[in-house]
């Protein structure tokens, strides 16, 4: 039997470690199923999914030049066919798209505001915020309690 990547075999679990399970495949060769390839769910304990001497279906995922064979139980399991999305119906295609209510999609702003007016308004607003910040820093912050004895607290 020819061993190549993508082949699916039935094999016997010969050993279990904390990082994977060793499976003997036809031809007397042994490969390893890494813990991440045991099941399609997160595996913390391999013995919860396979046991020694159990016959499992495995897929060859890699054959290293050193002769090590990487197997997968997860990839050997039959995948359910993917559901196709329902195509658009003619009625759905023909339905006009309407914007949600109460949203101004045109971005109507004051027609008299020019870019320079908006920029100067922004700058004024920004300067006001900066001056407020400087005031609170000089006062020692917003949440810092004042001492009744007039000391600095240091």
48-61 tens-digit pLDDT: 999 999 999 999 99
Strand stretches in 8-54, DSSP E: 8-16, 20-25, 29-34
Which segments of the chain are extended strands (E)?
8-16, 20-25, 29-34, 55-63, 69-72
Residue 15 β-bridge partners: 22
Q: Decide which of 3.40.30.10, 3.40.1190.20, 2.40.50.140, 3.30.830.10 is the CATH code for 8-72.
A: 2.40.50.140
CA distance 154 to 146: 13
φ, ψ at 135 (rounded to 5°): -65, -45
Q: Where are the domains of the chain?
A: 8-72
What is the rounded radius of gyration, in angstroms, for the C-alpha atoms of the chain?
Answer: 35
pLDDT at 154: 54
11 close to 26: Cβ distance less than 8 angstroms: yes
Summarize pLDDT for 111-140 with one digit per residue, the tens.
Answer: 567 888 888 888 988 998 888 888 877 776
This prediction has a pTM of 0.50
């Amino acid at each position: 039997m020819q061993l190549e990547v993508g082949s699916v075999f039935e094999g016997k679990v010969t050993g279990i470690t904390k990082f994977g399970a060793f499976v003997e495949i036809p031809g007397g060769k042994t490969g390893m199923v890494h813990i991440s390839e045991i099941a399609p769910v997160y595996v913390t304990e391999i013995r919860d999914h396979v046991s020694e001497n159990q016959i499992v279906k495995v897929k060859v995922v890699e054959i290293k030049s050193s002769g090590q064979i990487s197997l997968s139980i997860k990839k050997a399991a039959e995948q359910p066919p993917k559901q196709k999305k329902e195509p658009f119906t003619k009625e759905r295609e023909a339905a006009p798209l309407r914007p949600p209510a109460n949203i101004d999609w045109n971005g109507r702003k004051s027609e008299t505001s020019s870019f320079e007016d908006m920029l100067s308004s922004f700058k004024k607003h920004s300067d006001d915020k900066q001056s407020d910040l400087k005031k609170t820093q000089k006062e020692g912050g917003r949440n810092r309690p004042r001492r009744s004895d007039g000391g600095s607290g240091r």
